[in-house]
Chains A and B, each alone.
Chain A
Amino acid sequence: MSTEVTDATFEETVLKSDKPVLVDFWAPWCGPCRMVSPIVDQIAEENTEKLNVVKVNTDENLETASKYGITSIPALYVFKDGEVAKTIIGARPKPALEDELSDFI
């Protein structure tokens, strides 16, 4: 399972990570987020050695969401060495997501 990250833990868990981190920005009221969430979990389980996967609830962590200019969710951001290395906006089927994430998994 992927962990929930907050404004308070984002820097430590995501920006200072040795491994690339896939951040799933979501909110409870977002239908497509609920659809893509189990797919993100699967990708997390299948790539534990290469990629950390975390979730940020944008309702509760506005600071992080606004810092990265999130205006559409689900938004999947890959952070590498503290920088945004890839952004994927909107829910996608698993093969399409794996394709987009091919540099990291």
Chain B
Amino acid sequence: MTDTQLVIIGSGPAGYTAAVYAARANLSPVVIAGSVTAGGELMNTTDVENYPGFPAGVQGPELMESMREQAEKFGAEVIYDDVATLKLEPGAHQIETALGARYTAQAVILATGSAYRELNLPNEKKLSGHGVSWCATCDGFFFRNQHIAVVGGGDSALEEATFLTRFASKVTLIHRRQELRASQAMQDRAAADEKLEYLLDSEVTEIHGEDSLSGLTVRNTVSGETSELPVTGLFVAIGSDPRTSLFGDQLSLRSDGYLNVEGRTSKTAIEGVFAAGDVIDSVYRQAITAAGSGCSAALDAEHYLADLDAVTKQAEAVAAAEASQAPAPIAS
């Protein structure tokens, strides 16, 4: 059992930024980074062009490595393990990892991020890794000169689609509405891409294939007509859901599943428990907003720990004063 002041769960921009701030405030934070998910979602991206301070862009994994280095430089301890159980008990929150390490923490920052959403269609799981994928940068390479479909209409969908045109013979972007949610910059880039075509007002209703993906059935959401799309690759980019399974039964969640915090702070309903990043943000969900949110959580935790410390010191002072005023024990 290791007693700590602060444990940070998660290691995306929110977790690592919280770690930088907390470490600089001498809180010696322990970051439980995840065994295979350390660095978070940016580990699966390539060029990040909108993170301030990098006019030439920066590779996602490189940015996350730098954040980790910066946190460690100031004394954060990064553990590559996963939290198995979390008991939130004010004063001494209990954390146990998958490999059996145990920590108590006076304060906890939850920066668990989000997980890719699935289409929830039959065959999706079975063909995952056999044509169905959630990571263009990991898997795009295997689809050289093939026809690939990307589902989704946001920035990540368009980013995946334009990335995949480097390898594919053709990429079809399937989106259930007419308008894309992606930023104008992303849309302009996509529009210039000759290998990219659009199937709008459309949704995937069936995934076909025995050992590997052979095609999709796509339904037009306006006319109701269905058509077959003979693709060998399907990349799903329809957003993500907050990862709350560790604490969903102990803290109140919003109706959309995101973790509830108090106003513009990072405070959750349990004393000494703070939250940051995508797990509380259903709106912005950017690396920079997650980082900013991690900073807020570290400052909130810092204030909380300082108050806790002041209360403890005051109690000790009172006890010491009482002890000094007490009559000396009479020797018998």
Q: How large is the interface on B (under 10, 10 to 19, 20 to 34, 35 or more residues)?
A: 20 to 34
Q: Is A85 an interface residue (CB 8 A)?
A: no
- Tell me whether A93 and B129 are in contact in the complex, defined as CB-CB below 8 angstroms, given that A31-B43, A65-B142, A70-B142 are known contacts: no
B131 interface contact, C-beta 8 A: yes
Contact B142 A72 (CB under 8 A): yes
A27 to B141, CA, bound (A): 10
Q: Pick the contact of B233: A30, A59, A71, A90 (CB < 8 A).
A: A71
B10-45 Cβ-contact flags toward A at 8 Å (1 or 0): 000000000000000000000000111111000110
Decide yes or no whether B217 CB sits under 8 A from chain A.
Answer: no
**Contact pick for B212, options A31, A33, A69, A92, CB 8 Å:** A69
- The answer, among A30, A35, A87, for a CB contact under 8 Å with B129, is A87
Partner of A94, one of B43, B98, B135: B98
Q: How large is the interface on A (under 10, 10 to 19, 20 to 34, 35 or more residues)?
A: 20 to 34
Asked whether B225 is an interface residue with its Cβ less than 8 Å from the other chain, the reply is no
Instruction: Check: B139 CB closer than 8 A to any chain A CB.
Output: yes
| B137 interface hit (Cβ, 8 Å) | yes
- Tell me the total A-B contact number using a CB cutoff of 8 A: 73
- Nearest CB of B to A75, in Å: 6
- List, in ascending order, chain B residues with CB within 8 A of A87's CB: 129
Pick the residue among A31, A69, A92, A95 that contacts B138 (CB under 8 A). Answer: A31
A45: min CB distance to chain B, Å: 15
Task: Across the interface, name the chain B residue whose C-beta is closest to A72.
Answer: B129
CA distance A92 to B212 in the complex (A): 22
Query: What A residues does B130 contact at CB under 8 A?
Result: 69, 71-72
A93 to chain B, nearest CB (A): 4
Q: Verify A35–B138 contact, CB threshold 8 A.
A: no
Contacts of A69 in B (CB 8 A): 130, 211-212
Which residues from chain B contact A70 at a C-beta distance below 8 Å?
142
Q: Which residues of A contact B131 (CB under 8 A)?
A: 71
When the two chains form the complex, which single residue of A29, A35, A59, A89 contacts B38, counting CB atoms closer than 8 Å? A35
Cα A71 to Cα B36 in complex, Å, equals 19
Query: Which of B39, B60, B98, B138 contacts A72 (CB under 8 A)?
Result: B138
Residues of A within 8 A of B37 (CB): 35, 91
A71 touches which one: B60, B81, B139 (CB < 8 A)?
A: B139
Query: Could you tell me the distance between the alpha carbons of A34 and B198 in the complex, rounded to whole angstroms?
Result: 34
Q: What are 12 inter-chain pairs, A to B, with CB distance below 8 A?
A: A29-B141, A32-B43, A32-B135, A33-B138, A65-B142, A69-B211, A71-B212, A72-B128, A72-B139, A75-B129, A91-B37, A93-B81
Chain A residues in the interface with B (C-beta under 8 A): 27, 29-33, 35-36, 39, 58-59, 65, 69-73, 75, 87, 89-95
In the A-B complex, list the 5 residue pairs whose CB atoms are closest, starting with the nearest. Answer: A89-B129, A91-B36, A72-B129, A31-B43, A93-B35
